[in-house]
Structure 1
């Protein structure tokens, strides 16, 4: 009786294992086509590094409609009035691309910045968000950074020339 039960359990386990192996496995990066439009960005965040106060940082975010129907962006909300968006107004057909341009005016801003744009569209995956990040420095601070950098370069150049003279003196 025990042997029959063990045999039955073994056969059942073997059957499940065989079925699991024959099931099709999709690669992790495989995309399934979504019914309807679907927005997909090349990049979700743009880091501008540093900019001096008063400059306008401009970046173009590219996106693709990876869905099956036309994608329409109805509005783009911004986290601050200092950021103004421009975007592709006509419907983006399946497989085609569009752009969103973010213009960030750094006037009156200082320090680390993170400006978020919320893209409202008919995308099956809902609203999307992209951001522009970086540091805004005082215009005079940027100028003094350049002066310090130039002074360091000059010191390095003088040290290099001094080392060359020492080497020449040793050879003589």
Structure 2
């Protein structure tokens, strides 16, 4: 037992005394500058600004497809990358957006097509997934879908 304690004590003594280098001497000023720049850039985000956040198609006939274009601009401090655009259901289809990075000050657009399903007042949300600070931005469409065979009126 004494041999084991003596052996462990000797190993600990060797381990603690073998690190004689000062850690402060190993710091490279170039690495500090690179890390500071990286940290500053990490706090910069693109900002997605839409020309409109909601579009009202008004009154449409059941089954009639309608489309609108949402225009956007990058007003932030970093390139904007839109990774996905989805709607709340299959009746609303977002399409035609660029998956390439959009430079600061650049603009783009995407089309949203609604197939006229449903009845009465319909509202759909489109989620834009991007590298903004929030990560997701929302736009909406709405319409009053009338069935030509029924006697319904828009709700005011």
For 2:17, the equivalent position in structure 1 comes to none
Gaps of 5+ in 1: 1-33, 146-172
> How many angstroms does 1:37 deviate by?
1.2
Please tell me whether residue 121 in structure 1 is matched to residue 130 in structure 2. yes
> How many angstroms does 1:139 deviate by?
2.9
CA RMSD in angstroms, aligned pairs only:
1.9
Match of 2:105, SS state, is: coil
Please tell me whether residue 79 in structure 1 is matched to residue 91 in structure 2. no
Q: Normalising by structure 1, report the TM-score.
A: 0.59
Equivalent residue pairs, number: 109
Is contact 2:55-2:140 (8 Å) kept?
A: yes
For 2:146, the equivalent position in structure 1 comes to 137
> How many angstroms does 1:52 deviate by?
0.2
**Alpha-carbon distance in structure 2 between the residues aligned to 1:134 and 1:101:** 16
1:111 aligned to 108, 120, 136, which one?
A: 120
Match of 2:77, SS state, is: coil
Q: Which moved more, 1:45-54 or 1:131-140?
A: 131-140
Gaps of 5+ in 2: 1-42
Match of 1:46, SS state, is: strand
Q: Which moved more, 1:132-141 or 1:75-84?
A: 132-141
Is contact 2:94-2:110 (8 Å) kept?
A: yes
**Alpha-carbon distance in structure 2 between the residues aligned to 1:39 and 1:60:** 15
Match of 1:139, SS state, is: coil
For 2:109, the equivalent position in structure 1 comes to 99
Is contact 2:86-2:93 (8 Å) kept?
A: no
> How many angstroms does 1:141 deviate by?
5.2
> How many angstroms does 1:113 deviate by?
0.5
